[in-house]
Amino acid sequence: MTDLWLYVVLGLLVLCSGTVSASETALFGLSQRERKQAGEAVNRLLAHPRDLLVSVLFVNLVVNILFFSFADRLTSGGGLHPVLGVVVVLIPLLLFGEVLPKTLGLRAPLPIARAVAPVMRLVVRAVWPVRMVLGRALEFLASLAGTRDERRVTPEELSLVLGRTGASGHLDMVEADLLSEVVELKTIRVREIMTPRVDALWLARDGSDRETVVAQALRERVAWLPVVDDGPDAVVGMVKLRDLLREPDRAVAELVMPVVYVPEVASALDLLRLLRGAGTSEAVCIDEWGGSAGVVTIEEVFEEIVGDLRAEGESRDVYRIVPLGERTFRVPGHFSVRDWNEYFGQRVLPVEFETVGGLVMALLGRVPRVGDEVKVGALTLEVDEVRSRRVIAIDVRVDGGDGDGRASGGNG
């Protein structure tokens, strides 16, 4: 009977440890979009992150100490070797008290955060004496180290404040949205907004392809062209399209102007500063090896703030998601993963790839074919069109399932 009592206590302690671990991961893993949907209880907790973190760590510590204390009584009474006893009790604690709860917290942060918020508010209040003592100790140690407790406001937090200010009526919603987009420029990389190398127009310095490139530039409404010697990696300058049209008899080499280079990993805010300092509105993007990765203009930065800037008569289908029916959409292959996250609410980080087409290729592990399908959360993505090994269009179906990046081959 004593052993049964110990097993029940150990089970409850593992449950407490798992709840605390899942709570920590879910609450601190919420995105800005999810925080807006989380509700007042969650946002009150996250308004004081240090208090929440100290409370979580303290409770987790107490639970683990109690767990090993009771586990020692159980294993010592069973005649197990001390080392073997530690291993026997450590595995279930790690699995059900840490790994599995944190995994669940990462996979479904919003529903878990909502569920645990009332409990965690009680926990934070219950341990306030400990928080006060630990807080004083942390401040004292920080003062000895010569550091200040100055918390920097992140772009996501500032955007959240702007959104709430607009919603409360203290700031016009349009103005709040614009300011929020400006704040987020620091988090957007140039490679996310640039025209990729394969889509950019490049003009040879000897003018051999002048007529063809100028005609294409007029169709695509391109205002300037990078000039190259022997391919895109040998950029020698840039030329404005209007100069080529005004002076058709002058050689391209005579019209070339200096070009500005920007790393593809630079932020959109850094790009704005660079273009303003150089007095130009366009730049060539370079990769980590110094090769040309694409081209970017100030217009593409403005589009991140105010939305797509389309010329009259320009097709909208190239830029946006097109509804095909109930719970079905068509998405361009070059559609930004960042915009994807905002539209569908899927937490796909644009670290390894910048476009939905790149996401599909990464999940398949090969060049996509028409008919290929991949699963991302509750969405099924089917490749609709491929051109020269590049995904042009993808059909997205909302299934309501719980996939996590599965792929299946098509017939193409």
Q: What is the pLDDT of residue 370?
A: 92
**Least confident window among 173-187, 354-368, 397-411:** 397-411
Q: What is the pLDDT of residue 262?
A: 93
Nearest to 104 by CA among 181, 19, 228: 19
The string of pLDDT tens digits covering residues 9-26 is 888 888 888 888 888 888
Most trustworthy range by pLDDT among 88-102, 151-165, 203-217, 341-355: 203-217
The string of pLDDT tens digits covering residues 83-109 is 555 666 678 788 888 888 888 888 888
Q: What is the pLDDT of residue 403?
A: 47
Q: What is the pLDDT of residue 94?
A: 83
The answer, yes or no, to whether residue 309 has pLDDT greater than 70, is no
Q: Does domain 190-306 have CATH number 3.50.50.60?
A: no
Domain residue extents for the chain: 2-144, 155-187, 190-306, 322-408
Dihedral over Cα of 185, 186, 190, 192: its sign? negative
Q: Measure the CA–CA gap between 133 and 151, rounded to whole angstroms.
A: 20
The size of the chain, in residues, is: 412
Of the chain, the percentage scoring pLDDT greater than 70 comes to 75
260: confidence class by pLDDT, cuts 50, 70, 90: very high
For β-strands 224-228 and 203-204, DSSP reports them as parallel
Q: Of 335 and 318, which is predicted with more confidence?
A: 335
Nearest to 235 by CA among 224, 243, 225, 244: 225
CATH annotation of 322-408: 3.30.465.10
Q: What is the pLDDT of residue 173?
A: 57
**Beta bridge mates, 375:** 380, 406
Q: What is the pLDDT of residue 29?
A: 83
1: confidence class by pLDDT, cuts 50, 70, 90: very low
Q: What is the pLDDT of residue 284?
A: 94
Q: Measure the CA–CA gap between 28 and 59, rounded to whole angstroms.
A: 17
Q: Measure the CA–CA gap between 296 and 286, rounded to whole angstroms.
A: 11
The string of pLDDT tens digits covering residues 48-66 is 887 888 888 888 888 888 8
Q: Of 98 and 32, which is predicted with more confidence?
A: 98
Q: What is the pLDDT of residue 165?
A: 56
**Least confident window among 108-122, 196-210, 296-310:** 296-310
Q: Measure the CA–CA gap between 372 and 390, rounded to whole angstroms.
A: 13
